[in-house]
Amino acid sequence: MEIESMVANSALIKAREGGGSKGRSWKWKEMLRFPQISQCRQLAMNIERDYYSLCVKQPIGKKLFQLFCRSQTDLTTFPLTISSVFPQSIQCVFTVQKHEQSCIQSLEIDPCGDVFYDCREDLHKYLSGDPFMQYQESMFFDRFLQWKMLERSPITKQTFRQYRLLGKGGFGEVWACQVRATGMMYACKKLEKTHVKKRRGEAMALNEKQILEGLDSRFVVNLAYAYETKHALCMVLTMMSGGDLRFHIYNIGVPGLDKDRVRFYAAEVCCGIIHLHQKSIVYRDLKPENILLDDNGHIRISDLGLAVRLSEGSLVRGRVGTLGYMAPEVISNKHYGMSVDWWGLGCLIYEMIAGHPPFKSRGEHARTSEMERRIQTEQEAYSDKFSKEATDLCSLLLTKDPNQRLGSFSGGTEVQSHPFFHKINFRMLEAGLIEPPFKPDPRQVYCSDVQDIEEFSSVKGVTLDHIDNNFYSQFNTGSVPINWQNEVIETGCFRELNVFGPEGSRSPDLDRSQTPESPRRSLLDRIFRRHVRPVSQCVCVCVLVYVKAEYSCPLFPLTAPGRKQAEFGVRRELLVVRAAQHRPLRPLAAQSFKDTETTHNYKGGRSVRHWRSQHSMCLFVFVLIS
């Protein structure tokens, strides 16, 4: 291993070990400083007042609503009921007696099902009434508004620390990064603007970003932030420190994986596909390189650049994906639907067991035409590595006819019920309660050495214009609400910052009578930078031009507290006197002038006012910039 990779790996491992509270900037509390509640007035007027959105879907909103319930004597038993940590709480039955019999019947029919669904829905219906109205008048809702203001803060590259290069894609590179304020580790996918424009990939990039921000699945990488720099579009995604499945299949020991790992990974990929299909999304690029492992050994589907959202009952056509994993109907350029993803799952399971793809032997470099012929006409071969159940599952998933393929009839339910998965409890799996059979070594970096990753080539002859800026504005949307809130909670920032006054009173930042504090300036800023002028002030500049002599008076800036001409008159005279301190101009200081005034308005609301004071020998120009 080269010294460059050793240093990069050491820095990344240290950052991962120090994630969370240890990885925060020493100024993290200032970065997450609550705005004064009076500054949240506009947000309070515009925010959607929907119970499910504010109190159920949004993690911080849910926690604050639970705190509100605990503060009310008649609602103290409800926080446990609405908590996702205890969805099967027996308290639900005692709270809503009328559903007791239906809960018992549901338990007898399906013990693993959602036994208390009707009970919980009734509780939410009650809480969305008067309790929700009272919550909106409480200090807990005001605190929620403060968190939302922080969530909507601008995101730039200064928000993150950058570590080693993890990989390279079609449009750019993937880097490990860490949020300075929370210490959370992420992977930053940088799409070079010139590459995107040259290859006309704007629609693909925006499509991936929009699909990811609409997903919330533990089996698909989550988008936390989307922002732009001068040269790149950046998507900050879930950090998957365990590497991809291709690395584990081919780079650790004998090619292939043991049966327990194959079953576990296949089950989680199956859940991920189901979640995508429930959102009417066809993935279309299932392969080992796109299946990533996290620190604990769970997997997530990544790289949704080729994914497409279908309207109900519609099909799509297009030769996209990776040869060797493309379904026969994709190669034939026919219309297809969700079934192409089940073909991809069959290819993935086959490769994890055999140590090579189903239609290509290990180390073979087959031509494109030959690979297409095999996929469309030949039957895959099964060695003694395949159990009876594995052989049956792969053959059903790799059926040439998409209408006969497993998963085409009732979606993922029939795939999950196959005997190959008989040891998997899918409800526990979706809740994250099953221990993975393999946990990555936290002291190892599961990716290629830095020097083995090819340097991304530069593009010449491509210029960016205002049309590109319109596209960038759609991409640059900042933080994704639910994922940002989860980050704040998981890193402990919510627990440490969500503090109220003594005995449940409002803290000073929640007191509407308090005036907002001015932002604190760092020591270096106070030493080396000029005083920052408040927005409410305006600047006056006096420019004097000598007409009959080659003399120009330098600029004399003076801050004027008001914008009215009457208030400005005294300042203007002071400027005349100040300018007249120059020896050649002293005789002119006491003389009268003929004034003219003009005002120029510019975009963004900025205006510049000019006063011209004319004299036979000189011309004073007073400029007021507001």
CA distance linking residue 472 with residue 275, whole number of Å: 29
Closest CA to 65 of 140, 119, 139: 140
What the block records as the tokens of 355 is: 């140590």
Q: From residue 617, how far is each of 541, 584, 620 by CA, in Å?
A: 20, 11, 10
**How many alpha carbons lie under 13 Å from residue 111 in its C-beta half-sphere?**
1
If phi > 0 it is left, if psi is from -120 to 50 it is alpha, else beta; for residue 256 that is: left
CA distance linking residue 345 with residue 324, whole number of Å: 12
Cβ-based neighbours of 390, under 8 Å, separated by 6 or more: 259, 262, 349, 353, 420
CA distance linking residue 613 with residue 597, whole number of Å: 9
Answer whether 348's CB lies under 8 Å from 291's CB.
Answer: yes
Query: Residue 285 catalytic?
Result: yes
Answer whether 264's CB lies under 8 Å from 257's CB.
Answer: no
Residue 189 assigned to a binding site: yes
Phi, psi at 23, each rounded to 5°:
-95, 0
SS3 549: coil
- Residue the block writes with tokens 């803060």: 153
Answer whether 160's CB lies under 8 Å from 187's CB.
Answer: no
* Complete DSSP assignment for 524-545: HHHHHSPPPPPTT-EEEEEEEE
CA distance linking residue 167 with residue 187, whole number of Å: 10
CA distance linking residue 532 with residue 61, whole number of Å: 36
CA distance linking residue 162 with residue 158, whole number of Å: 10
SS3 90: coil
- Residue the block writes with tokens 């900037």: 25
CA distance linking residue 64 with residue 85, whole number of Å: 16
Answer whether 287's CB lies under 8 Å from 356's CB.
Answer: no
Answer whether 224's CB lies under 8 Å from 238's CB.
Answer: yes
Show the beta-strand stretches assigned E in 216-374: 223-228, 232-238, 281-282, 291-293, 299-301, 308-309
Answer whether 160's CB lies under 8 Å from 177's CB.
Answer: yes
- In 10 A of CB 82, how many CB atoms? 20
**Annotated catalytic residue, options 285, 294, 303, 341:** 285
* Complete DSSP assignment for 551-600: -EEEEEEEEES--SHHHHHHHHHHHHHHHTTSGGGGGGTTS--EEEEEEE
> Which residues are known to be catalytic?
285
Show binding-site residues for ATP.
Answer: 189
Show binding-site residues.
Answer: 189
